[in-house]
Amino acid sequence: MTKEEIAGQKNTINKSPFKRFENFTVLSIFIAFVVIIVILQLILTGASQFPTFISPVNLLNIMQQIGVSGIIAVGMTMVMISGGIDLSVGMLASLVSIITALGISKWNLGAVPAVIVGIMSAVVLETLLGYIISRTKVEPFIITLGGMITFQGIALLLSNSREVMMSGELDALKANLIEGAKDPVSGLNLVIPPYVLIFLLITVLAWILLTFTKYGRRIYAVGTNPNAAYLAGIDVKNMKLSVYAINGLLVGIGAVMLLSRINVGIITLGQGLEIDTIAMTVIGGTALSGGKGNIWGTLIGVVFLGSIGNAMNMLRLPSEVQFVAKGFIVILAVTAGDVYANIPEVLSRIKRNIHAKSTKEN
């Protein structure tokens, strides 16, 4: 028997549930997290004070907070599955928000054309990055880092380093779809704005694209092994290019949503968004090396990271502490998978040891 065969057998013996369901690890951490928060809240504040973490009003609140980064994280997931990464999404979102705001308040394009111009500029710029990435051998990390700095520069130039005010032209995007609905416990207003639905819709569409189409299968193939993908008749270059183009579209949509919430086109709008979305994607089980990951994992990552911030606010933790805790949880979430995977092996080793001891004693 060859070494490979032995390794193969070991793997089939290893029937850990953690391996069978890919998102199990992170989901279980998330559930544990929610339980801890609820317990903490009961202890610290008592059930009498509102709003509490699991109340409907707060859950919808979380959805509003994560909607934008969620859309962008979906794009990031696709880019990372194809073996790439995109550091430019944050600054691109800022740029799009400034272009759209300028289009509305300075160039008088009207709301809809301005939004289209904003989103299209994101698609064009990302396609450009995708073109460079797919046609050269330079790491996407470096190219998109360059893109990030360039976009920042363009955004500052266009806005003269100032904020671009709007007067609520995009309010339709944050209108409450369930006007009048109240939280049964606290009596506070419940809010579901359209962009939350758009986020959920995009998530479902991306899931269909990745799971049910020829295109989706090819993205995974390209991310896993570009050489083999090319030999299997896949146009690897254009696949990569198209993934960045889709990512541009999603960043554009996300940026417009963000703009509608804040009502001001400004450079700080997208700051740190790339870090957040990469963290969400990675927590969701997508591998930086490509070919591995799925949309549901990312959704869990998005909700997880979003609720951490929310929960810590409710526990009234100072923001400095929040950073530390957030960072720690990211590390915990991504290493836990590895630890989990080794549990069966550790258990069997312990069993073997016990067995060996008992036979010795006999």
**Contacting positions for another protein (CB under 8 A):** 1-8, 11-12, 211-215, 217-218, 220-221, 224-225, 227-235, 291-292
Minimum distance from residue 352 beta carbon to another protein (Å): 21
What's the CA gap between 179 and 182, in Å, rounded? 9
- CA–CA distance, 222 with 239 (Å, rounded to integer): 8
Nearer to another protein, 82 or 144 (CB): 82
- Rounded Cα distance between 61 and 275, Å, is 22
- The minimum distance between CB 243 and another protein, in angstroms, equals 16
CB 309 within 8 A of CB 64: no
> How is 294-337 classified by DSSP, letter by letter?
-HHHHHHHHHHHHHHHHHHHHTT--HHHHHHHHHHHHHHHHHHH
Radius of gyration for the alpha carbons in the chain, expressed in angstroms and rounded: 23
Task: Report the nearest approach of another protein to the CB of residue 284 (Å).
Answer: 17
Q: Which of 9/49 has CB closer to another protein? A: 9
Shortest Å distance, C-beta 6 to another protein: 7
CB of 209: closest distance to another protein in angstroms? 10
Q: What DSSP letter does each residue of 112-146 carry, written as one string?
A: HHHHHHHHHHHHHHHHHHHHHHHHS-S-HHHHHHH
CA-nearest of 73, 100, 75 to 155 is 100
Q: Least distance from C-beta 235 to another protein, angstroms?
A: 7
Q: Which is nearer to another protein, 222 or 269 (CB)?
A: 222
* Beta carbon nearer to another protein, 225 or 313: 225
Q: How far apart are the C-alpha atoms of 151 and 299, rounded to whole Å?
A: 27
Using the minimum distance from each CB to another protein, give the nearer residue, 189 or 224: 224
50 versus 230: smaller Cβ distance to another protein: 230
Tell me, what amino acid is at 260? S
